Amino acid sequence: MADGGGWRPPRPCEAYRAEWKLCRSARHFLHHYYVHGERPACEQWRRDLASCREWEERRSADAQRSLCESERARVQATRKHALVWALRQSPPADWHLPLPQEEKDQ
């Protein structure tokens, strides 16, 4: 990993810039604050963008390591959240019957 021969960043630098720009937008701020009750943390996207640019310009091993660690952490964060709903393998046996409220209305 240290030599960086054919290594490429996990995403193009433009993707990190777009994520950072989106994270700083008013719409994203309001949405994130509404859903999570806190301000969005955009600093990691800025660091990833800086690391990506440093990799492209200087082929820095530190920048490469930083990007790899950041992407690993991002993947781990998505894996720690369990599904809210249990997925069904087939529909319920009585799925075609009218709902109880519909029976009362008739």
Q: List the chain residues with pLDDT less than 50.
A: 1-2
53 lies in some domain: yes
99 lies in some domain: no
Q: Which amino acid is at 54?
A: E
52 lies in some domain: yes
CA 2 to chain CA centroid, nearest Å: 27
60 lies in some domain: yes
Q: Which domain holds residue 70?
A: 13-78
72 lies in some domain: yes
Domain count of the fold of the chain = 1
92 lies in some domain: no
40 lies in some domain: yes
Q: How far is CA 62 from CA 3, 43, 70, 83, in A?
A: 11, 18, 12, 35
pLDDT tens, 20-47?
999 999 999 999 999 999 999 999 999 9
pTM of the predicted structure, to 2 decimals: 0.66
